[in-house]
Structure 1
Amino acid sequence: MPADTPLRLRILEAVTDVPAAAWDALLAPDAPPFVRHAWLAAMEESGSATEETGWAPHHLTLWRGQKLVAAAPAYRKFHSMGEYIYDFGWADAAARLGVEYYPKLIVGGPLSPATVPRLLIGPGEDVPALRRALLTAATESARESGCSSVHILYPTAEEADFLEGEGLARRITLQFHWKNPGYQSYDDYLARFDSKRRNQLKRERGAAATQGIHLRTVRGEELTQAHAKRAYGFYTSTCERHAWGQIQLTPGFFARVFKNLPDAVEMVEAVKGPKVIAGAFNLATRERLYGRYWGAFEEHPFLHFHVCLYHSVEDCIRAGRKVFEPGAGGEHKVSRGFEPTAVHSAHLIFDKRLDGAVRHFLEREHLRLAPAVEEAERICGLKPWPLAGSPAAGGATGT
């Protein structure tokens, strides 16, 4: 089909309205699972992300003839839960101005606070032109469907640059990621801390052995629907334990992901005697590990740190993965060597008064960001890499 053939916009009320092969053809070979067709379909078909739960699918697709050439996963949202780019204050300000903030249009994935491509462009296509066409489609369809605004959540830094250049308000917030500069062993990682912090991490990680707890990672062909049920149990146990917890995912979501994305799912399990007492449901690519949901049926000191952080850090070193993103939140991660990392979002609010107020807020928020990063880096306390005596410097590793 000639490149000058007019584009046709189709807005999909379900991601399954487009063939999985056509959607996934827009992705890089090692794309994060959160943007894959099977993940979005699991969210929607399981009843986890539907209009009834406040996530009305509104996927933007551009076609040249019968060929899908660009797409953006999008949802009309009727609340702000499950996004992790917090705008509850903006909704309150809208109410004071007499503006209906909901529904709003978000471009992103449900319950998935991970940086992934949001404006999906097919190979060989004019990337700037199709990005601009998707943004126009998002803006116009949001207005037509009664949305107050457009929010692109967790785009890549390159996409955020583009969106800012198109006039959207850019927001930068922080997550805390573990980064691998070339560790050959877990001791390499420990060697980057001072003696006091290193001994703390050893003590916390070593507690499992004294408690009779063994940790393992289950992946690939070892995964079964029994693991999917267990993952749902861990997820709900955490939601029910906290006042802010809200169960948004269904058992069917986990069943579908374990069945349809076995190459991307990993399950950390803590075993005591004959029982699995705790675990974490993670997603992975060749270069990155993404922490998602954890839970425990028994309480033990430091078990959360071991299941959610230390065990997977060692797994990442063994596999040569470059980054471990354990999800939103971060105070307890910082002192364990997870580094402050910028994540992005872009926002366009149609009411000029509210848009101006939000942009002013973002300017002030951005000014507070640098001191927050400096403080997090101080708490993180990692020494520069490579260390003298480390394998990267050609010597033995110190502990």
Structure 2
Amino acid sequence: MPIQTLARLSDIAPLQWDALLPDAQPFMRHAFLSALEESGSVGGRSGWSPVHHLLRGAGGELLAAMPVYLKSHSYGEYVFDWAWADACQRAGIGYYPKLLAAVPFTPVGGARLLAVDDASAVQLLDALERDVAADGLSGVHINFTDAFADLHLRGRRGWLERLGCQFHWRNQGYRDFQDFLDALSSRKRKQLRKEREQVAGQGIEFDWRAGSELSEAEWDFVYACYANTYRVRGQAPYLTRTFFSLLAARMPEAIRVVLALQGARPVAMAFSLQGGDTLYGRYWGSLAEFDRLHFETCFYQGIDQAIASGLQRFDAGAQGEHKLIRGFEPVITRSWHFLTHPGLRAAVDDFLRQERDGIQAYAEEARGLLPYRQG
């Protein structure tokens, strides 16, 4: 069956796309992906050119789909292949452009290969491989996959598996934050309590809002905080201000924003999305410096919210070991890479074999450092 490619997700009806989604995770929804495009966060000169792949049946029904982008760089992916690109440049091999199946700027695992059945999934993967070869691209990459994509890619000729490690918090039926603290060792429990007291001692309180409960002026503040986290590092933010307004209009029920207030003045924020049984912490920012405010706003407030909402998981983002001592457990992530140059594929395959062993060992060691009381 012929494969259709879309330069704009708005060319397909939201209900058609969303009907293929296997769960309530928000990032693959038509509303989220189309907001990225229509806000100018992707497309144009961003280096993310949409070429979404669709498989339709004889009657025009949608059988499979995948969000695909033609990339001219590796920014905003969170599965780092800069070393591969550098090696290609030294060897005189073109690495860019490449194809990437992912949610832009979003290191969250989930569905990437959408299909009504296994046969349709196979046909879409076949088409991806043909497109890479026909267009002379270096390869195609699928980041942060779920079990369905893993099943179809594992053992498929030419595809290389890469592991990563993130840290997620899991709700063990806690009644409140104190109940969670009681599950920790005495030393860690005191540390977390002290950090929360330091923030409260600075006169800071917190106000949680759904997407429909923020004014445009408050969205201006949210964006200013988000953009500041990039500007202090001398970088331009990935997302535009328009993206937040579009998302608030299209999926307000999924948005959770916590404002940190000193008196009546907002000083920081954390932006999250909620879907299914999970809270996804995405963006944070502060317009002033406060001791321990990052930990409270990004982690402890999220844990509080997850417990209060009866959620089972809090995914606070891709970075760091600092989450480990706060009760976030190591979780293995997967990405898959199809490289057309035989020499590059062989070198990356050898590298990934060694890296996988290291990631597995790292995750196992990290699990032994969790702060929970034994027994």
TM-score bucket (shorter structure) = over 0.9
**One-letter code aligned to 1:232:** Y
Q: Residues of 2 paired with 1:220 and 1:294: CA distance?
A: 16
1:42 aligns with 2:35: yes
Q: Normalization by structure 1: what TM-score?
A: 0.90
Contact 1:229 1:251 in 2 (8 A): yes
1:55 aligns with 2:45: no
Q: Normalization by structure 2: what TM-score?
A: 0.96
Contact 2:7 2:52 in 1 (8 A): yes
Offset, 1:164: 1.6
Contact 1:228 1:258 in 2 (8 A): no
The 1:209/1:317 distance shift into structure 2, 3 A limit, reads same
Matched with 1:173 is 164
Matched with 1:392 is none
Offset, 1:370: 2.9
1:154 aligns with 2:148: no
Offset, 1:220: 4.7
Q: Residues of 1 paired with 2:178 and 2:55: CA distance?
A: 50
Q: Which of 1, 5, 9 matches 1:15?
A: 9
Q: Residues of 2 paired with 1:224 and 1:66: CA distance?
A: 41
Offset, 1:171: 0.7
Q: Residues of 2 paired with 1:352 and 1:132: CA distance?
A: 23
Matched with 1:234 is 225
Partner SS, residue 270 of structure 2: strand
Q: Residues of 2 paired with 1:67 and 1:223: CA distance?
A: 38
Q: CA RMSD in A?
A: 1.5
Q: Which of 170, 182, 207 matches 1:191?
A: 182
Number of equivalences: 373
Partner SS, residue 234 of structure 1: helix
Q: Residues of 1 paired with 2:149 and 2:21: CA distance?
A: 15
Contact 1:61 1:68 in 2 (8 A): yes
Q: Residues of 1 paired with 2:106 and 2:184: CA distance?
A: 31
Gaps of 5+ in 2: none
Contact 1:225 1:259 in 2 (8 A): no
Contact 2:153 2:336 in 1 (8 A): yes
Q: Residues of 2 paired with 1:236 and 1:22: CA distance?
A: 33
The 1:266/1:21 distance shift into structure 2, 3 A limit, reads same
1:369 aligns with 2:359: yes
Q: Residues of 2 paired with 1:224 and 1:131: CA distance?
A: 42
Alignment identity in percent?
39
1:98 aligns with 2:79: no
Offset, 1:306: 0.4
1:300 aligns with 2:308: no
Matched with 1:252 is 242
Matched with 1:263 is 253
Q: Residues of 1 paired with 2:302 and 2:272: CA distance?
A: 9
Provide runs of 4+ in structure 1 moved above 4 Å. Answer: none
